[in-house]
Structure 1
Amino acid sequence: MTTTSDPCAAFAPVLPDPLRSAAGRRILAALATADPPRAHESRNHRTHRQLRLLAGMLPSADRLLADPDLLATLSACTAVVDPALYMTVLNHYVLCLGSVVGASGDLRQNGPAGAGTARAHVPKALETAARKGVFLITEIGDAGSHLAVRTVAEFQPERREFVLRTPDHGAAKFSSVGAPGMPQSAAVCARLVVDGTDHGVFPFLVDLCDERETAPGVAISGPLGVDALPLEYALVRFDGVRVPYERWLRGSAAIDELGCVDDPLTVDQRLRHTMSVGQALWATLPSAAAALARAAAVAALRHSLHRRSHGRLAPGSPVLTYRTQQRALLSALAEAFALTCAAQTAKDLWAFTLDGRITTGATSGTPPDMAFAPWASVDRRLAAFKALAVAGAARVTGECQHRCGLAGYLAVNRLSAYHGFAHAFDSAGGDNRLILLDIGRALAEEHTDAAPPGQPDPDSPTWWPGLVGALERRLAGDLHTTVRTRRTPHLSRMALWNPVLEHTRQLGEIHTRRLAAQSVADTLAAVHDPTVSGPLSTLAALYGTTQALRLAGPLQWTGLLGPTQAAALNDTADRQCERLMPHLTTLTEALGTPDDLLPTPLSDPDYAAALGGTLTWHPGAPA
């Protein structure tokens, strides 16, 4: 197998790996040397200790949230070490403190007359992670609760404070809240009511508990388990919790001394703005998902290369000798590469937003209305990248887990945790299906005339971007025509869209595939080193062929791919795998996680010895 002298250095300008950056290595080293789990310590308590360790080495929350590179690095590092820790970091920094910092920025830039422009206070206990922060938006009783939040914050003008109430059991909030024993606060999304009038959904910063007891008016349930992402979760209810005015994360809104609300946003705009805290999540979650996908694909390839098979066709041959294993795992590596390209695009889009080169939502076209969820309405393109990233990571980690047999299911090899993470985030952080439905509806409404596909050669890295782009336009055109034909003045929106929802979801999904294909093409266009461009171009071609095989049905019924072309894709994929095998060492070294900081038995050439070395043995007396 051919290799460059230093694959990581050669690939770094094209595919910067956050795990190998100086900041990434510091974070991984710190977590590797952290105190081991303590006896009888809950998972929430352990991740809280790790969160405090990270807080001691990270900049202040406002600086961290203004640095997309560092936030993406933090996301990738914590996810590969322990997905449960990533969830803790996400809740604390991105969602809870993101709500505090975001409200502060709005107040400085857009504060109404008389509101003052002083920076809102970020409590020191949250800044240092002495208190763990969480984000409470989801209510358990109804689907789509983000669009109909029922937790109420009623303004009391005589005391200039708010009274927070949960109206019934169905409005109880859900998040990774632990039992009292560690201090916790939450950004609680609640409907602001002033003198009986609904003014939209705002976050309120509320202390839930301290080391000894739950705060007055707060009720926290016993733990709820989620096997896919193991932390202690709980339901939270409020009964008369008093929230000071300064804990209202009001942004540009205010209530004057007469009790009149001054908010430049409508109720729907306010909900969209409150949910915009998700932009930093959608911009950096793809980096975490891509890191997990790369780690899984490289570990599975190395395991298959060293692991012997005793099948009768070729006893003693490495498992990777078999074409089925090659196709599965090299295709997984190709998708991990595409997810890495997409993660870079998502992070760049967020950076452009932060530095003012584009405005929020300008990357997305016209914001879709909030038919199913608020996410795509906040930022359609970043929400699409989130959906793409976790769906792709779930495919990659699931396939790698399956292809490693028993080893893929052992916790010490991490693949089960990575697969659980990806599946959990199908719903967490913005439900993928609802995102795709809203995107599909918007694309059908905006439809433009279809253009023909480009390069007809599947071995060309430009073939798949042209083909999937044409597929997106054809499906959008078909759905546009169907909806236009069915629309009548007296037909309700439900009656109009319900029969075509699966087509709508599929269009949203194809849109995310097109974004990934374009990210890959943009990455390849920046490669000028032939030792890098050769393997990456073939990897990109294999990614496109694999995607075309998955979408062979839609490609054929839209007339973009003929039956003969579709039948030839399997042979094309085999040929591309043959071309990749000589570059396997280079690719796995360039795309893999740093073995010195994140070793697993699965990647070790002597897997059995490495696995045994992780175990405590209890030998009997000599026989």
Structure 2
Amino acid sequence: MSAADELLGFVRGTALDAKARDRLEEAVPDEFFTVPGGLTAPRRHALTYARLRRAGLAAPPARELLDDPPALCALLDRAAIADPPLFHLMLLHYTLALGPVLRFGAGPDAADPVRDALESMDSFGTLLMTEVGRSNSHLSPRTTARHDPATGGFVLSTPDAQAAKFPTNTAHPELPKTAAVYATLVHGGEERGVFVFAVPLRGPGGAVPPGVRIVPAPETTGLQIDYAAVLLDGVHVPYRAWLRDGAAIEDGTFRDPAGTPGERLTRSMGIAPPVWRAVVSASAAVTRASAAMLLAHSAGRTTLGRLAPRRPLTDYRNQQEAVLGALASGYALTAVAAHATAPRPAAAAAGPGPATAWAPWSAVDRDLALLKAAATVQAQETVSACRVHSGAPGFAAAERLNAYRGLTHAYQNAGGDNELILYDTARAMADLDRYEPPEPGAGPPDGGDLHSPRVWLFLARDTERRMRDRLAAAVAAALGAGEDAFTAWNGNLVLAARTATACADRIVLEILAAAADTGPPALGPVLRLHALNRLEHRAADLLNEGVAPPGMLDELWAARRRTCDGLAPAAADLAAGLGVPAPVTAPTAFLF
């Protein structure tokens, strides 16, 4: 077996057989990788939804996909590479609309026309969670669901425009939409916590029911979706629309196994892990595609620089390291995605997570939320670098790199805001809330050789431990001086974010070290290159914490040059091992 074949086996993994993979590829065929020119925004949106319906009918049933993370991620990965708006709508439909219906609803045997419409693709799923007028609105939505004793159902209302749900994909006037609405349940004059309600927002022809107001947002090119704000004014829904997750209102009495409104919020946000797994996996997918595009642009290209006219472009270190670094990022994020989608021990998957202050995500699954933040940042940086190093063609000749950049940029806020995830992670670290700092090391192993994974891990772990200790001490000192919690943390947010990022780096490097140890021989050097790039990216913290001495960057650059020298002859095999669909790297169509 060739090195490229071995690497392709690593990228594809063992969770899906060839037949299952072929079916998912048929659900997102090659024709989905191009968009006809001249479409108006509504026609572009309609095309995306038509493709979503076609993909949903061709793919395995939604329930099977939601129970099989590798299969769902493989479908979403191909959608992300083909057309980022399709990925976004597919993710919303499966994980954020159907997911809560199947997880929190009455059960698979109960009659449920809303669930049936979503599963059959007769209606497209959307999410109504965040509200436009306040940050962190998912912690306490002002949209309410009041129990109506007369009908047994609920009345949903947004009190004013500031409580409008935004963003939502509901603007297209002709398409059926069904929403998972997050609202504060009010019963007996008391707020009982945040629950999810399944609410049809548009009928088969796009008609809006009484009490629903949809306000289309201006068109955007960042991630082309039919964005809109939604206001609800006394919208009546039946009792079965309440995705109650074991809670009940019986004989006028409210009961909830969650216990408290805070615990209910965490349970209602428990639909997030499938989203994070998919976002991590899609980040890896578009990174792989971008790396393959950059290599296709660079390979065989000559330059007219006066130092060496007609020298191959990839002989220049800056381009060579950009190409190989992008390939390395693709493999590294693939390893992270495999880790994120792998079955987890019951003890590791069980909650509750640490207490949170800024967002509920860390309470749901701290490490998975943190990996989502790390993966989207890495993907956005790599895609942007690929676009820049592709010159003018990367910006103007093909939309694909711009679309990937829009997707990875959007998901630094979507699916849980990255900064808020970092802050809550740092707070858990400082408080030792379900967190254990890495053990201090006696010194760099293996003579400090940066080629050694043991050295990467020593540097990452020691930096994380020192930063955590400094953060905990700084916050404790502020509190001890009489500052309130807001002031104490607000003065240390920069250190908090960098401390949580150090934790993410350590987790990623541990994943890479394990993959290098168990993967094919060709994988080790390419993961080493990514590790060296991450250490360079974190050099300021390594030096600031005294983990690395002055001159470390010189050693790191030398190690990277040696690694790139070894990888450069294998660049074509590394690209082939990524398994990027042929339409992605095809020559620019208008030239031929």
- For normalisation by structure 2, the TM-score amounts to 0.92
Q: CA deviation at 1:59?
A: 2.8
Aligned-partner SS, 2:93 = helix
Q: CA deviation at 1:34?
A: 5.6
Could you tell me which amino acid in structure 2 is paired with residue 54 of structure 1? A
Aligned to 1:425: 411
Aligned to 2:440: 451
Work out the CA distance in 2 between the residues paired with 1:222 and 1:264. Answer: 36
Rate the CA distance shift 1:592–1:14 in 2: closer, same or farther, 3 A. Answer: closer
Work out the CA distance in 2 between the residues paired with 1:316 and 1:449. Answer: 51
Q: CA deviation at 1:219?
A: 0.3
Could you tell me which amino acid in structure 1 is paired with residue 196 of structure 2? P
Contact 1:189–1:201 (CA under 8 A) maintained in structure 2: yes
- After superposition, the CA RMSD in angstroms is 2.3
Work out the CA distance in 2 between the residues paired with 1:589 and 1:558. Answer: 40
Aligned to 1:573: 560
Aligned-partner SS, 1:129 = coil
Work out the CA distance in 2 between the residues paired with 1:475 and 1:240. Answer: 50
Contact 2:303–2:309 (CA under 8 A) maintained in structure 1: yes
Contact 1:141–1:172 (CA under 8 A) maintained in structure 2: yes
Aligned to 1:74: 75
Does 2:95 match 1:102?
A: no
Write out aligned runs for 1:426-441 (5 A).
Answer: 426-441=412-427
Cα deviation 1:246-268 (Å, max 9, x = unaligned): 01000110000224344443101
Could you tell me which amino acid in structure 1 is paired with residue 431 of structure 2? E
Does 2:226 match 1:232?
A: yes
Aligned to 2:6: 10
Q: Across the two proteins, how many residue pairs are aligned to each other?
A: 579
Write out aligned runs for 1:293-332 (5 A).
Answer: 293-332=287-326
Q: CA deviation at 1:513?
A: 1.2
Rate the CA distance shift 1:393–1:304 in 2: closer, same or farther, 3 A. Answer: same
Could you tell me which amino acid in structure 2 is paired with residue 409 of structure 1? F
Work out the CA distance in 2 between the residues paired with 1:121 and 1:428. Answer: 29
Work out the CA distance in 1 between the residues paired with 2:149 and 2:386. Answer: 59
Cα deviation 1:80-118 (Å, max 9, x = unaligned): 0011001100110010000101113xx669xxxxxxx95
Aligned-partner SS, 1:593 = coil
Could you tell me which amino acid in structure 2 is paired with residue 161 of structure 1? G
Cα deviation 1:56-89 (Å, max 9, x = unaligned): 1223322211111111101101100011001100
Aligned to 2:394: 408
Contact 1:19–1:76 (CA under 8 A) maintained in structure 2: no
Rate the CA distance shift 1:119–1:476 in 2: closer, same or farther, 3 A. Answer: farther
Write out aligned runs for 1:584-603 (5 A).
Answer: 584-595=571-582, 598-601=583-586
Aligned-partner SS, 1:381 = helix
Rate the CA distance shift 1:263–1:157 in 2: closer, same or farther, 3 A. Answer: farther
Rate the CA distance shift 1:600–1:587 in 2: closer, same or farther, 3 A. Answer: closer
Cα deviation 1:356-375 (Å, max 9, x = unaligned): 474334xxxx7222211111
Indicate which of 243, 250, 253 corresponds to 1:249.
243
Aligned-partner SS, 1:153 = strand
Contact 1:43–1:232 (CA under 8 A) maintained in structure 2: no
Rate the CA distance shift 1:262–1:480 in 2: closer, same or farther, 3 A. Answer: closer
Indicate which of 180, 196, 220 corresponds to 2:189.
196
Aligned to 2:350: 360
Aligned-partner SS, 1:221 = strand
Work out the CA distance in 1 between the residues paired with 2:5 and 2:18. Answer: 11
Which consecutive unaligned segments of at least 5 residues does structure 2 have?
A: none
Write out aligned runs for 1:47-86 (5 A).
Answer: 47-86=48-87
Indicate which of 165, 168, 177 corresponds to 2:170.
177
Work out the CA distance in 1 between the residues paired with 2:438 and 2:95. Answer: 39
Rate the CA distance shift 1:260–1:577 in 2: closer, same or farther, 3 A. Answer: closer
Work out the CA distance in 2 between the residues paired with 1:311 and 1:611. Answer: 28
- For normalisation by structure 1, the TM-score amounts to 0.88
Aligned to 2:267: 273
Rate the CA distance shift 1:173–1:346 in 2: closer, same or farther, 3 A. Answer: same
Rate the CA distance shift 1:448–1:48 in 2: closer, same or farther, 3 A. Answer: closer
Aligned to 1:478: 470
Aligned to 1:543: 530
Rate the CA distance shift 1:128–1:88 in 2: closer, same or farther, 3 A. Answer: same
Work out the CA distance in 1 between the residues paired with 2:353 and 2:494. Answer: 21
Contact 2:26–2:58 (CA under 8 A) maintained in structure 1: no
Work out the CA distance in 1 between the residues paired with 2:570 and 2:133. Answer: 52
Work out the CA distance in 1 between the residues paired with 2:122 and 2:78. Answer: 21
Could you tell me which amino acid in structure 1 is paired with residue 576 of structure 2? E
Write out aligned runs for 1:100-249 (5 A).
Answer: 100-104=101-105, 123-174=115-166, 175-210=168-203, 211-249=205-243
Work out the CA distance in 2 between the residues paired with 1:8 and 1:23. Answer: 22
Contact 2:387–2:395 (CA under 8 A) maintained in structure 1: yes
Aligned to 1:612: 591
Could you tell me which amino acid in structure 2 is paired with residue 55 of structure 1? G
Which consecutive unaligned segments of at least 5 residues does structure 1 have?
A: 110-116, 614-623
Aligned to 1:620: none
Rate the CA distance shift 1:63–1:554 in 2: closer, same or farther, 3 A. Answer: same
Work out the CA distance in 1 between the residues paired with 2:254 and 2:266. Answer: 22
Does 2:543 match 1:520?
A: no
